Amino acid sequence: VTTAAGMYPAHTDSSLITIAPRSSVAGLEAKDLASGEWFMIEDALGSGECLVFIGDPADYASSHRYPALMHRPAVREGRAPHRISTPFFLYPRSSAVLKPRGLPALSFNDLNGNTGGCRDNFPWKGASCYYSDLIYSLPS
């Protein structure tokens, strides 16, 4: 986890699908799983375009054939000091059961809660990477 100013923790979404219009300032980095390199994915977007990507439930339902997008918000030096982002998250019912071929059935509720570290065990993930696993504190 980086502590550089303007950098936030990398994560995958717990939504089935995320639709993310370009932010007020390009600042969404994605990780190339083949090379391990981070790149500013919003730089390729025009003003009226958006990103559509899958989260962990679709990753699991596809038996990991389609990995969730590992990403992190970032505001780089030389860009505006603030970034406004308005993503839309599509979630399945909490009682929905994902039954991918070759993997055990798993409820969305368990997947979303990372019950038993199930999201951490995705084959392409090296570590836990969820906002729910992070500890936030208010400034004193």
| Residue-averaged pLDDT of the chain | 80
Q: Which residue has the tokens 């392409």?
A: 124
In the predicted model, is pLDDT for residue 127 greater than 70?
Answer: no
| Number of alpha carbons in the 13 Å side-chain half-sphere of residue 97 | 5
pLDDT for res 79? 65
Residues 29-78: pLDDT tens digits?
A: 898 888 888 898 988 888 889 999 999 999 999 998 999 998 988 776 66
pLDDT for res 129? 53
Residue 110: what are its φ and ψ, rounded to 5°? -70, -40
pLDDT for res 81? 65
In the predicted model, is pLDDT for residue 84 greater than 60?
Answer: yes
Residue 116: what are its φ and ψ, rounded to 5°? 65, 15
Task: Answer yes or no: are the C-beta atoms of 52 and 18 closer than 8 Å.
Answer: yes
Reported pTM: 0.79
Residue 103: what are its φ and ψ, rounded to 5°? -125, 155
Residues 96-114: pLDDT tens digits?
A: 999 999 999 999 999 888 8
pLDDT band at 16, cuts 50/70/90?
Answer: very high
